[in-house]
Amino acid sequence: MIADILTSIFGESYAWQDLVIAVVSILFGFILIPQLKDVWYGKSILNLYTASLTTIGLYVLAVTFFTMGFWISFIAELFSGTIWLLLFVLSFKNYRKSI
């Protein structure tokens, strides 16, 4: 039913899937901003394996969306991947300080 409504709005193209993926990806990135703030000020350290593997996974998804022509999702995944990259780098820096 929802797919029929979206198809009637956007036609037979995959534009609506691109928008849905992008909105969710952007939201996931923005949800991490308070965590990024804590890591930025040295208040917390994320698990480095989680942060690094999530970063890699999001950049792989970004490349995949790029090859599919999902430009909005590509940019959204780059945004979320960069947030995770910052979380990884700052957590690594904080971990090194704590040793």
Q: Structure pTM?
A: 0.84
- pLDDT per position as a tens digit, 19-45: 999 999 999 999 999 999 999 999 999
User: Angle 71-98/15-31 helices, nearest 10 degrees?
Assistant: 20
Hey, what are 4's tokens? 């029929």
Confidence of residue 15 (pLDDT cuts 50, 70, 90): confident
Query: Is 2-98 a domain of CATH 1.20.1280?
Result: yes
DSSP 36-97: HHHHHTTS----HHHHHHHHHHHHHHHHHHHHHT-HHHHHHHHHHHHHHHHHHHHHHHHHHH
The answer to whether residues 24 and 65 touch, using CB atoms and an 8 Å cutoff, is no
